[in-house]
Amino acid sequence: MNIKKIKSMLIAVVTMCLLAAADQFTKYLAVKNLQHKMSVKLIPGFLSLTYVENPGSAWGMMQNMQWLVIIISFVLVIGVFIYYYRLSDEKKFIPLKIALTVLAAGALGNAIDRITKGIVVDFFEFKFINFPVFNVADIYVVLSVIIIFILILFVYKEEDFAINRKGEV
């Protein structure tokens, strides 16, 4: 493993941890300030802060299957970093590497809740549409998946992801 790869991976892991810590801090604030209280209207009719405990995964699926969701989360984080490591060090892959890091941070942030609380704390609620209450980690996941999708569809070519026999890009 070369020094450039090590440095890149270290930056990604530290960034993932910092983003997950930011997510945890917002959840701490939600528990402290919103739990057992009425919704706080940020933008009336549009956005509120509403404390919700989610015992499942996205949109409340897989209710009370926390250990399975935790295992899936950690497999995702490990898979993201294996893929990250195998990506070329070319500058054109920096946006993809950032999106992968943010995706891993979102998975880690919600996994921390599942491990420590047995639920995920959600608190952002769109009032103008019927949309599940969500949190910062969910924002990380959704935005990073959208960015990855756009990059794969419109920026990268198939040959950008070709892997030679040695497993190197």
- Active-site residue, 160 included: no
Pairwise CA distance, residues 128 & 160, whole Å: 41
Largest Cα–Cα distance of the chain, in whole Å?
Answer: 58
23 a catalytic residue: no
Catalytic site residue from 23, 89, 113, 122: 122
The DSSP string of 129-161 is TT---B-HHHHHHHHHHHHHHHIIIII--GGGG
The active-site residue out of 23, 89, 138, 160 is 138
Q: Give the residue numbers annotated as catalytic, written as ranges.
A: 122, 138
